[in-house]
Chains A and B, each alone.
Chain A
Amino acid sequence: MSDPTRAIRVIALRQPFVAFEARAWRPPLNIYETEQALTLVVDLAGANPAELQVYVNPTLIVVRGTRQLVAPPGLRRIQRMEIGAGPFELEVPLATPVDPERASGRYSDGLLEIALPYASEPTTHLVVIQIEGGAR
C-alpha cells in the first residue's frame, strides 16, 4: 500500500478562500433586462421540465429540480465528471420588483426561460408558475 499521506493531498486552492456552498450544484444562468421585463435563462439540459418548481416572489426567484444523468450501461469507471447532477436549488434575488402574477415560464432545447414583467405596484405575492413546453 502506498503512503496515503502522499497519495491523498489537498490541492492548494486557486481561489483565495475556501468556498462554501450548501447546495449540491447550481446550474448556470443568464438574466436579461428589457424595457418591460426581466428574462431569466437557466441552463438545465437533461432536466425533466415537469419536475421543475419555480417560485416567483416580487424580489426573489427560486428554482428547484433534479437532473438525473443516465450513465451508459456497463459503466466501468468515470474518467471525468463535470456536469452537476442530482437535486439542485437556485435562488435569484432581484433588484427590480417584478409582478409574480404576470410571470410565465417555458422550457425548450434544454433551457428554462422565465419572463418577469416589472411590477406596476408593490406586491408581496408568491406565485408558483407552470412551465410550458418541451418534454425531453
Chain B
Amino acid sequence: MSERPLTLEELTSAGEVEIPASMPILALPNGVLFPGAVLPLAVGGEPWVRLIDDAALGARFIGVFLRTTPGEEFDPTALAPVGCAAQIVRLMRQPDGSVQVLLQGRARITIEQLVSTAAYPVARVRVVPDLPPGPEAETLARTARVAFEEVVRLSPALPDQIAVIAANIPHPGTLADLITANLGLRPEEQQQVLATADLAERLRLVISLLERERQLLDIANRTREDMARSQREYVLRQQLETIKKELGETDERGAEIAELRQRLEAAGMPEPARREAERELARLERMPPGAAEYTVSRTYLDWLLGLPWNKSTPDNLDLERARRVLDEDHFDLEQIKERIVEFLAVRKLQFEQGDTEARSPILCFVGPPGVGKTSLGQSIARALERKFVRVSLGGIRDEADIRGFRRTYIGAIPGRIIQSVNSAGSNNPVLVLDEIDKISAGIQGDPAAALLELLDPAQNNTFVDRYLDVPFDMSRVLFVCTANQLDTIPGPLLDRMELLTLAGYTEQEKLQIARRYLIPRQVQANGLAPRRRTTEVAALPAETPASNLPDQEALQRGHAPELTDAALRRLVREYTLEAGVRDLERRIGTLYRKMATRRATGQPLPEQIDGPDLDELLGPPRRHGELILGEDEPGVVTGLAWTPAGGDVLLVEASVVPGNGQLILTGQLGDVMRESARAALTYARSRSRELGIPAESFQQCDLHVHVPAGAVPKDGPSAGITIASAMISALTGRKAHKRVAMTGEITLRGKVLPIGGLKEKLLAAQRVGVQTVLVPRENEPDLRDVPAETLAALEVVLVEHMDQVIPRVLYPPDTPEPVAG
C-alpha cells in the first residue's frame, strides 16, 4: 500500500458494506431502525420466520419499515415511505420456533417496486445516500451536540457515556440519527427524522425535538424533587411511627382526635359553634403534635366541647316545696322569698304553656355584710333544684376577667362567666355574681361594661366570650347579684337588675336566726352534736340511741349546753355591733368551742349558758349601749348614719373656742358634709336671736365641729340637722339629749329634707338603745319597711323644720352658761 499518510477520516470512512438491490421487507409495528443503529427483534409466526431464515442464508439483508397503520395483513401502502436496510448480525432460534435477531441498520432506503409477495414481500430498493454535510449542517450539528449533552445531563435514563459517543460521531447525519434513536421518542417522530434526507433540515428537526425534551425533563425533574421530598417525609414519618410502636407509645394523637370528634358529635352545639369547632378540629388534625399551636388548639377545643351547650337541669316548679326550702334556710326576708316564689310561679305557667325559652330575671340583693345575700342565692338554687355557681367580682379590674382573653394571647382562658357555667355543667344554673359593687375600672377596660351585655336579658342569649369567639346562650341562667351599696354600681348596670334590699336584722330577728340556724350549725361544727360515729361522743353516758334525730332535737336533750335568751340578747347587744349575723355566729362559735374544750378534757358541761356566764367565757363585753352614748352634755348630739355595713350611730361634737369666727371641721368629712356644716352654721347665725345666741360670739369665737371616729371618712348631707343641733347646743350651752337621735338634711331656712337608708339607721338606733328618733316627715313612707319590733322600741318623731328639732333634742334654756373649749 502507499506510503502516503492517510487522514483519520479517510481511514474511518472505509469499509462500506454493499447494499443489495432487492431484499425482503419487514414491517415493524412500533420501531424505527436508523442506519448504524442496532435493533434486537423477536420474530415469530409464518411467513416472517421464513423471511428471516432465507435472509440469513443469503445476503443477510432485510428492509425494515415502520408500519404506519395497525393491521394484520401485509399492506405496502401501510408502510412508511422511508425505511432502513438492515443486516442480521446475530441470530438465535428459540425453542418455540420464533427467532431473535440482532439487526444492524445500514442505509436509508425507499421501495422502488415490490418484486414478489408470494411467501413474503420482497422489493427492489433504492438507497438514499447521506450527502456530504455542508457548513450549515456542521454548525447545526454542533448546536445539536450541545443540546443533547444538556438532555443527557438532565435525563436519569440516559448514561453520560452516550454523550461521549455522540461527541465522537463526526457525520452530522449519523449524529442526528443517534440522537433521535436515543431520545425515546414516539415511532412517528423517529420516522419523521428517518424520512428527512436533507441533513440541515434533519438536524433542525432534531434540535427542536431536543429542546422539547429538555423542557419536559426540566418539569419532570422539578416534580421528582418535590416527590422525593414528600416521599422522604413519608418514609421518616413511617419510621417514627414504627419507633413509637417499638417503644410502646401508641398512636395517642389519633385516639385523641377521634375522642374529640366524638365529643363534638355529642356536644349538641348550635350551628356557629359547631362550625367553629369542626374547623378547629380539622386544623388540629393537620398540625404536627410538636407544633406550639397544638396545645393552644387542643385546649380551645376542650373548652368548646366541654361547655354544657345542651345540658340543663329540669326546674322543680313545686311552689310549696320552694317556699319550704327558702324558709328552712333563711329567717324572715319575706319580700325576697315572695319574689322568688313569684318567679317560680311565672316559670310554672310558662312551662305549662310550653314556653321553654322564657328568660330569667336578674336579681340584685343589696345589703350589709352577713345578712345572707349569697346564701340566699344558694337557697334559690336548692329550691329550683338548679346548679349553683358563684363568681366573686370583688377586686376585678380587667374586662377580660369577665369576657375572656383573645386566643391570640399566650395562656388565654375564657372569662369567669364561661368558666363558672362550665363548672356548673348545665346551661341554666343559678349564677351568683358576688360583690358586684366592688368592681372597678382599671386600665384594661371596665369590667362593668362586659357585665352590661351579660345581664341584659335581651342580649345575653348571644353572649360572646372573647376566648371562645362563638356565642353562648346565657338567657337561661338565673343571675343573682349581691352588693353592699348601690352608689358604686354604674347606672346602666343598676338599671338592668331588679333590686331587693336586705337592710339587716333587728335584735328579735337575730335571736330567732341564732336559735334556728346559728346555734345548731355551731354545735355541729364544734363536735358537740351527737353522732354515733364519733367515738368520743359515743362514749358519753348521755348518748341515746336516737342519734339520727335532727340536731335541734338532740340539742334539746341536753347534749350541748343551751344558750338562754338572756345570753343571746347579751351577745347581740354587748358583744356584737353589726347589721348581719356573722359576728354573732362567731361569738356563738367561740362559746361552743370552749364547751368542746371542756368536754374533750373531761370537764363537766353546764346545762345551759346564761347571760352572766358570758363575762367568764368571752371576757368583758365590747361595749354597752349606755357607754356609747354616755352622759348628756352641751355640744354633743347623736346622729344616725348609713354605711355599707348597715346603719350606725355617731356623735357629732361641737365646741366654741375664742377666735375670730372661723368654722373648723374635722373627722374626715367629705365635701358634701362640709357644705352641710356651713349651711347649718349659716342657719344658726340667721336664727341666733330666736335661739338666744349672743351675736358677737360669731365674731369672737371659732366653732369647731368634730365627728368621731376621726379615722373613718364620712360624707353625705343627712347629718345636717345633727350638726346644726350640735352647733346650737354648743353656742347656747344647752345640754343635748343623747338618747334622742336624728337624721335629716338641713336647708338655710332650717327646713328638714328627706334622707336615705332609714331602715338601717333605725335598726342601728335600736341597737344602741336610742329612745327617740327624729325623722324627716317626707321619709314617712319608708317607715313601712321598718320592722314593727323596731318601731315599737323607738319613739319616731316626724319633723319638717329645725324649730321642731331643737325643743326635742336640747334641754330647756335654763342653764345658760356657754361651753368654752
Binding site for B on A (CB under 8 A): 1-11, 13, 16-25, 53, 55, 57, 60, 62, 64, 71, 75, 77-82, 84, 86-89, 91, 124-128
Judge whether B29 and A9 touch: CB under 8 Å. yes
Judge whether A21 and B36 touch: CB under 8 Å. yes
Centre residue among A3, A9, A79, A125 by max chain B CB count within 10 A: A9
Interface size (B, Cβ < 8 Å)?
Answer: 62
List the B side residues contacting A2 at CB < 8 Å: 44-46, 72
Q: Does B93 contact A (CB under 8 A)?
A: yes
List the A side residues contacting B88 at CB < 8 Å: 81
Listed from nearest, the 3 A-B pairs whose CB atoms lie closest are A2-B45, A89-B15, A7-B45
Q: Of B1-9, B515-523, B603-611, which stretch is located at the interface?
A: B1-9
**In-complex Cβ contact of B48 among A7, A16, A84 (8 A):** A7
A84 to B17, CA, bound (A): 14
A127 to B5, CA, bound (A): 8
Instruction: List which B140-159 residues lie within 8 A (CB) of chain A.
Output: 157-159
Judge whether A81 and B90 touch: CB under 8 Å. yes
**In-complex Cβ contact of A8 among B28, B70, B157 (8 A):** B28
Assuming the A-B contacts A10-B39, A21-B38, A60-B8, are A81 and B31 also in contact, with contact meaning beta carbons closer than 8 angstroms in the complex? Answer: no
Judge whether B42 and A11 touch: CB under 8 Å. yes
Judge whether A1 and B93 touch: CB under 8 Å. no
List the B side residues contacting A5 at CB < 8 Å: 29-30, 67, 70, 72
Judge whether A55 and B29 touch: CB under 8 Å. no
Q: Does B681 contact A (CB under 8 A)?
A: no
Instruction: List which B1-57 residues lie within 8 A (CB) of chain A.
Output: 1-6, 8, 11-12, 14-15, 17, 26-31, 34, 36-48, 53, 56-57
Judge whether B158 and A62 touch: CB under 8 Å. no
**In-complex Cβ contact of B53 among A13, A77, A80 (8 A):** A77
User: Is chain B's binding surface mostly helix, strand, loop or mixed?
Assistant: mixed
**In-complex Cβ contact of B5 among A80, A86, A125 (8 A):** A125
Assuming the A-B contacts A16-B157, A60-B8, A64-B14, are A4 and B37 also in contact, with contact meaning beta carbons closer than 8 angstroms in the complex? Answer: no
A-B CB pair tally, cutoff 8 Å: 150
Judge whether B161 and A9 touch: CB under 8 Å. no
Q: Does B747 contact A (CB under 8 A)?
A: no
A88 to B38, CA, bound (A): 16
List the A side residues contacting B38 at CB < 8 Å: 18-21
Closest-CB distance, A70 to chain B (whole angstroms): 13
Closest-CB distance, B5 to chain A (whole angstroms): 4
Q: Does B655 contact A (CB under 8 A)?
A: no
Q: Of B174-182, B532-540, B643-651, which stretch is located at the interface?
A: B174-182
Judge whether B11 and A8 touch: CB under 8 Å. no
Q: Does B92 contact A (CB under 8 A)?
A: yes
Judge whether B6 and A24 touch: CB under 8 Å. no
List the B side residues contacting A20 at CB < 8 Å: 34, 36-38, 165, 169, 174, 177-178, 181
Q: Nearest residue in A to B17 (C-beta to C-beta)?
A: A24
Instruction: List which B376-396 residues lie within 8 A (CB) of chain A.
Output: none
Q: Nearest residue in B to A89 (C-beta to C-beta)?
A: B15
List the B side residues contacting A86 at CB < 8 Å: 17
Judge whether B41 and A53 touch: CB under 8 Å. no
A56 to B776, CA, bound (A): 145
List the B side residues contacting A125 at CB < 8 Å: 3, 5
Closest-CB distance, A132 to chain B (whole angstroms): 17
Assuming the A-B contacts A91-B11, A126-B5, are A17 and B162 also in contact, with contact meaning beta carbons closer than 8 angstroms in the complex? Answer: yes
A7 to B43, CA, bound (A): 5
Closest-CB distance, A62 to chain B (whole angstroms): 5
Assuming the A-B contacts A18-B181, A18-B182, A55-B11, are A10 and B91 also in contact, with contact meaning beta carbons closer than 8 angstroms in the complex? Answer: no
